[in-house]
Chains A and B, each alone.
Chain A
Amino acid sequence: MLATTMEWAENQLFQKNLIVETNIILNRRYLSPPLRQDGMISREEISEELLLQNDLASLIPYKQSQPQSAITSQIEAVLNWILSKRIMILQPAEVRAYLLCYPDMGDILPFICRTASERFKMHTQLSLEVYHDSEIEDKYLTLYIRQEHYDEHILDMIEDICVEYEEELADKSGWLLVTTDFHPPRVGNHGL
């Protein structure tokens, strides 16, 4: 069944005219996963990636156009995806609890994380945390950018990301702040 699902998924991607390479190995022909040459990832592709990562076998109901009513599976897929991008999540329980309260944040979180990890490549650690503001009993997601040696343009780069997603974030029930605390990276090799 899984093989059939994979074949189906490959066929659909093939039909979408994505670039498909054909390799010849030991006189057998295989379709390798399609890759975009420009390195850009669209919203649709991220959605597919999430589906493929955490909902592979659900491609059959997906094919039949049945959206999910469960909310935790999508949250788990988002957390897995973020970790796969080497973004640190020190307190997964807190981030999970936040996303359970504001599940629509899961729609935008991967895009902001993706953009941040692309803009800050070398010697940078990205850490997703929940910030608690005790004065006004508020909390929100925070993506901290931490570097060993801080780039003099870091605040401008952060501002660019914030501006890019400001409008979409305003439509969400929760909030995410991209910022730095100018601390050195935490222990661990995430993103460094």
Chain B
Amino acid sequence: MDRKYVNSPIIEAVCEFRLSPDTKWDLTIPGLIYEKVNNEFPNKEQRLIQEVEGVHGPQELQHQIRTSERALFLSNDRKTFIQVGPRLLAVNCLKPYPTWDRFNLKIKDAFKALIDTVEVKGFQRIGLRYINRIEVTGQSVNLDDCFEFRPFLGQALPQQNMTSFIVGCLLPFLDDRDSCRIQLSNAVPEEPNSSAFLLDLSYSIVQPQAVPVNQTLEWVESAHQQVEKIFEGCITDNLREVFQEVK
């Protein structure tokens, strides 16, 4: 970790593993994984997840909302948890972010529990996502002062403060093997007379099974390095002052 901040804006970090369709899965697997992680994640819950799914019909893409069940194994402070669903394992870490070293340890533990339980044929997707909520004083903030990644309004457009915005892009990495979705939008501030923004960085493999199972944790480490660089590339020194860098 190159830079550490006292007021880290990270509200959630997620590392997600989606297994390939040829990996065998059954209803006993969440319980078997729980047996291996219950020292650190003793609290178990079930949640129904509503998913919007695009299904290719005979002539058109149809949108369906379906509900699936996920097992959640939560730490005692409920700030870190593992989600296990059909061919899915995700490790979530909520604010306060405990540093990469600690989060990475949880990822490694969860990953070991997964591969000790399931014969993983490959990964359909591996993703590392960081969601940052950035709050700065002032109801009208000049985005140029805060972000190196921001919406641009040409001269022909009104230059008043935007009431709402969203801007995003998908950047390729490592010869298109990986990509990172960068998204910045306004958010609801917690303090009066302040403005808030959501900077969402989602780094993942593009092609299913592009990373061999035995190199997965190395991929996670390098993905984290890329996300760090992208985050630093998105913000200005003004924000670094707000976050208070640990020297």
Contacts A15-B61, A44-B65 known; A71 to B183 CB distance under 8 Å?
Answer: no
C-alpha spacing A89/B191, complex, angstroms: 11
**CB atoms of A54 and B60 under 8 A apart:** no
Contact A73 B54 (CB under 8 A): no
Determine whether B55 belongs to the interface, using a CB cutoff of 8 Å to chain A: yes
Q: Which single residue of chain A is at the shortest CB-CB distance from B95? A: A72
9-residue interface stretch from B42-50, B105-113, B231-239: B42-50
Mask of B1-38 contacts with A, CB within 8 angstroms, 1/0: 00000000001101010100000000000000000000
* B92 contacts A70, C-beta separation under 8 Å: yes
Q: Are A69 and B169 in contact (CB under 8 A)?
A: no
Q: How far is the CB of B196 from chain A (nearest CB, A)?
A: 9
| Contacts known (A65-B54, A72-B94, A93-B190); A54 close to B185, Cβ less than 8 A | yes
Flag whether B224 is at the interface (Cβ < 8 A). Answer: no
| Chain A-chain B contacts (Cβ-Cβ < 8 Å), number | 113
| A16: chain B residues within 8 A (beta carbon) | 60, 63
Instruction: Digitize A149-192: 1 where CB-to-B-CB distance is under 8 Å, 0 elsewhere.
Output: 00000000000000000000001010000000000000000000
Interface size of A by Cβ–Cβ distance < 8 Å? 45
B51 is an interface residue with CB less than 8 A from chain A: yes
Chain B residues lying within 8 Å of A62, measured Cβ to Cβ, are 52, 54
Instruction: Tell me the minimal C-beta distance from B14 to chain A in angstroms.
Output: 5
Q: Given the known A-B contacts A80-B187, A89-B188, A104-B47, are A71 and B92 also in contact in the complex, defined by CB atoms under 8 Å?
A: yes
A97 to chain B, nearest CB (A): 10
Complex: how many Å from CA A76 to CA B134? 12
The number of residues on chain B lying at the interface, defined by a beta carbon within 8 Å of a beta carbon of chain A, is 48
Binds A, one of B114-122, B125-133, B154-162: B125-133
Chain B contacts for A79, CB-based, 8 A: 187-188
Q: How far is the CA of A84 from the CA of B165 in the complex (A)?
A: 12
Shortest CB distance A75–B (Å): 9
Taking the closest CB of chain A, its distance from the CB of B189, in whole angstroms, is 7
Name A53's closest neighbour in chain B (CB-CB).
B166
Could you list which residues of chain A lie within 8 angstroms of chain B, going by C-beta atoms?
1-2, 12, 15-16, 43-44, 47-48, 51, 53-58, 60-67, 69-73, 76, 79-80, 83-84, 89, 92-93, 96, 100-101, 103-104, 107, 171, 173
